[in-house]
Amino acid sequence: MSHLPAEPEFEQAYKELVATLENSSLFEEHPEYRTALNVVSIPERIIQFRVVWEDDKGNLQINRGYRVQFNSALGPYKGGLRFHPTVNLSILKFLGFEQIFKNALTGLNMGGAKGGADFDPKGKSDSEIRRFCEAFMRRLCQHIGAETDVPAGDIGVGGREIGYMFGAYRKERNKWEGVLTGKGLDWGGSLIRPEATGYGLVYYVEHMIAHAGKGSFKGKRVAISGSGNVAQYTALKCIELGATVVSLSDSTGCLIAEGDAAFTPAHVNEIAAIKLARKPLTQFSNATAQFKYIPGARPWVHVGKVDIALPSATQNEVSKEEAETLVKNGVQFVAEGSNMGCEQAAIDVFEAARRGKGGVWYAPGKASNAGGVAVSGLEMAQNSSRFNWTAERVDERLQQIMKNIFELSIANAERYVKAEEGELPSLVAGGNIAGFLKVVQAMHDQGDWW
């Protein structure tokens, strides 16, 4: 099936899924699923709108707003809103496409969607962000609802933005309902939601380590990219489990722990405060003492020997060359905290190393970073029952969901992909096949394809 050539990110996500399905026995056993692939790869609906707002000087500003409602076979559309100047339809279609299968893997009733605007929150005042969020929601609110589409946050959309948008929705629609996730704890939010993606990523990798017979996180060197919500809680959980975290990064450069130095919870909390103030990592006070700051760089070629690499910043943040360096330096596990964190050429390097003597094991974001949307689903459940769960209950459910996703990925890889004796199963193939089967079977049952 052909797609628009002007959608490179979506093309990449689509081809990555198709490649793993083609390299399995799925289409041989079930040729009818080729028809299902053609149907599932076109969004059910794309909403595009203008957002007109006023800056602090009284000037009119205009941005493009989007919501790609990709698939609702398993439940209401579910997926984040991203506010970033790079936002375009290709990126949102790729994220929405990935979201369909990620949400399916959680076992919760959620469809797949993504949205946002080409608005840049950096350098904007609180008042400007509030006015933009209200203008954005006045247009979006016509297309979402607790039983229709439940957006969440993403890059550029944190608790403050969710609050402004929730308030705008409530006033505009005269309804208090769980229309957004990532809300404040006093007005419908869930405990563990901020930590969920990072914690879930670590829980997933714990199963990878145990399955491969390599012990636990204790004593392992971990390279992490990013310094936002996902990277922060990934780092904190790794440290809690006895690992040594040696890197964090942002769009301006990376911080590398030198010698025997390592990030501590205090370091991570200081970086969290810097990021909350929307400042770069150069503001980190320990940058010169224990850590080396490398401007304009990602951490992968600078971290030296690491056991685990966790890309947790944005899409396509690990190139083929960086993957080759990580493999050469002895990396054993790579799992994405970001969506499509590795370029296809990098995935090919990791998959080749999995099949070879290297034994490198790679996990795709749609499986390994599903913890965030899983707890968003649990937030929806709490909103529906008007009852808040304890942190322990949410964390227990999150751990169980990540375990289920891992086991589902293993089972489908072993069922549909030939492997040599002693070879680790492909988590890419297993995750893709498991999510795909669940969605397209529901679509078939509901008459979306035949």
Is residue 263 a part of any domain in this protein? yes
Catalytic status, residue 218: no
Does the pLDDT of residue 3 top 70, yes or no? no
Same domain for 160 and 113: yes
- Domain boundary, last residue among 359, 385, 410: 359
Same domain for 161 and 216: no
Is residue 14 a part of any domain in this protein? no
Does the pLDDT of residue 172 top 90, yes or no? yes
Does the pLDDT of residue 42 top 70, yes or no? yes
- Domain boundary, last residue among 108, 142, 176: 176
Same domain for 345 and 248: yes
Instruction: Output the domain CATH number for residue 231.
Output: 3.40.50.720
Closest C-alpha among 298, 264, 265 to residue 281 = 298
Instruction: Output the domain CATH number for residue 49.
Output: 3.40.50.10860
Domain that holds residue 78: 40-176
Whether 413 and 433 have beta carbons less than 8 Å apart is answered as yes
Is residue 331 a part of any domain in this protein? yes
Same domain for 136 and 52: yes
Same domain for 291 and 144: no
Same domain for 207 and 151: no
Whether 114 and 68 have beta carbons less than 8 Å apart is answered as yes
What are 326-352's pLDDT values in tens digits?
999 999 999 999 988 999 999 999 999
Model confidence band, residue 357 (pLDDT cutoffs 50, 70, 90): low
What are 74-124's pLDDT values in tens digits?
999 999 999 999 999 999 999 999 999 999 999 999 999 999 999 999 899
| Strand partners for 152 | 80
The pLDDT value given to residue 5? 60
Whether 375 and 193 have beta carbons less than 8 Å apart is answered as yes
Rounded to an integer, the average pLDDT of 132-151 is 98
Query: Is residue 406 helix, strand or coil?
Result: helix
Distance CA 229, CA 196 (A): 9
Catalytic residue among 114, 220, 237, 275: 114
- Domain boundary, last residue among 310, 327, 359: 359
Is residue 442 a part of any domain in this protein? no
The pLDDT value given to residue 288? 60
Same domain for 242 and 346: yes
Same domain for 329 and 233: yes
The pLDDT value given to residue 375? 97
Whether 308 and 243 have beta carbons less than 8 Å apart is answered as yes
Same domain for 120 and 269: no
Is residue 417 a part of any domain in this protein? no
Beta strands in 185-302 (DSSP E): 221-224, 244-250, 253-257, 291-295
What are 298-333's pLDDT values in tens digits?
999 999 999 999 999 988 999 999 999 999 999 999
The fraction of the chain above a pLDDT of 90, given in percent, is 90
Is residue 344 a part of any domain in this protein? yes
Q: What are the phi and psi torsion angles at 408 (to 5°)? A: -65, -40
Same domain for 334 and 200: yes
Same domain for 201 and 282: yes
237 token code pair:
């959980």
Query: Is residue 6 helix, strand or coil?
Result: coil
Count of structural domains within the chain? 2
Angle 42-81-46 from CA coordinates, rounded to 5°? 30
Read off the DSSP letter of residue 186.
G
Same domain for 220 and 167: no
Q: In what order do the strands lie in the sheet with 149-152?
A: 45-54, 60-71, 112-117, 77-83, 149-152
Is residue 48 a part of any domain in this protein? yes
Is residue 81 a part of any domain in this protein? yes
Mean pLDDT, rounded, of the chain: 95
